[in-house]
């Protein structure tokens, strides 16, 4: 029997799933220019996204726990204040300030947002969103922070 379509299709070496799933990544962490967010260019929804702080710290957020998404455009009376994007995730409040945040908001609503990058000083990619300020407020329960401190008080 000659080569079948199956062997033609599956006889080729393909990238491992973890690599293939990220073929369309715009990995702005490895780039010389800054972009405020990465989205799935093919429009497929994703299950979670992550935030990269300017100090390199990463935090992941699952879409099913993201609530209260709000976008505030630039106020004409206070144009220097930029745009705001806010949401909550399982009790954690995330507040972003910058420009081009409507694109981040729409990607979040469509579940195609893969990453948000706080501005880190690199030159900005033309037309890119910029997350100038990022604030994450962890939940507090009965006056005790739910986040364990890195050092014990002694």
Which residues lie below 8 Å from residue 55, measured CB to CB, with a gap of 6+? none
The model's confidence at residue 14, banded by pLDDT at 50, 70 and 90, is very low
Considering the domain boundaries, does residue 109 fall inside one?
A: yes
- 33-91 pLDDT, tens digit each: 888 889 888 888 889 999 999 999 999 999 888 888 889 888 878 778 889 999 998 88
HSE of 34 in the Cβ direction (CA atoms, 13 Å)? 17
**How high is the pLDDT of residue 25?**
47
Domain that holds residue 50: 28-142
Considering the domain boundaries, does residue 38 fall inside one?
A: yes
Number of H helices, E strands in the chain: 3, 10
Question: How many domains are there within the chain?
Answer: 1
Considering the domain boundaries, does residue 118 fall inside one?
A: yes
pTM above 0.75, yes or no: no
Query: Does 28 score more than 60 pLDDT?
Result: no
Higher pLDDT, 102 or 14: 102
Distance CA 71, CA 134 (A): 14
Considering the domain boundaries, does residue 17 fall inside one?
A: no
Place of tokens 């062997």: 7
Helix, strand, coil shares of the chain, percent, nearest 5, are 15, 35, 50
Which residues lie below 8 Å from residue 124, measured CB to CB, with a gap of 6+? 33, 34, 35, 130
The H-or-E segment that residue 60 falls in is strand 58-62
Considering the domain boundaries, does residue 84 fall inside one?
A: yes
Considering the domain boundaries, does residue 105 fall inside one?
A: yes
């Amino acid at each position: 029997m000659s080569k079948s379509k199956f062997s033609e299709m599956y006889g080729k070496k393909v990238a491992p799933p973890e690599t293939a799933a990220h073929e369309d990544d715009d990995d702005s962490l490895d780039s010389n220019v800054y972009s405020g967010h990465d989205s799935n260019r093919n429009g497929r929804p994703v299950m979670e996204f992550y935030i990269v702080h300017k100090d390199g710290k990463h935090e992941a957020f699952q879409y099913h726990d993201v609530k209260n998404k709000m976008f505030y455009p630039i106020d004409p009376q206070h144009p220097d204040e930029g745009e705001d994007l806010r949401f909550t995730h399982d009790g954690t409040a995330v507040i972003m300030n910058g420009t081009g945040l409507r694109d981040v908001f729409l990607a979040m609503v469509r579940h195609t947002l893969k990453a948000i990058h706080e501005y880190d000083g690199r030159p900005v990619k033309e037309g890119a969103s910029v997350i100038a300020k990022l604030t994450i407020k962890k939940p507090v329960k009965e006056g005790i922070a739910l986040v364990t401190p890195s050092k014990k008080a002694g």
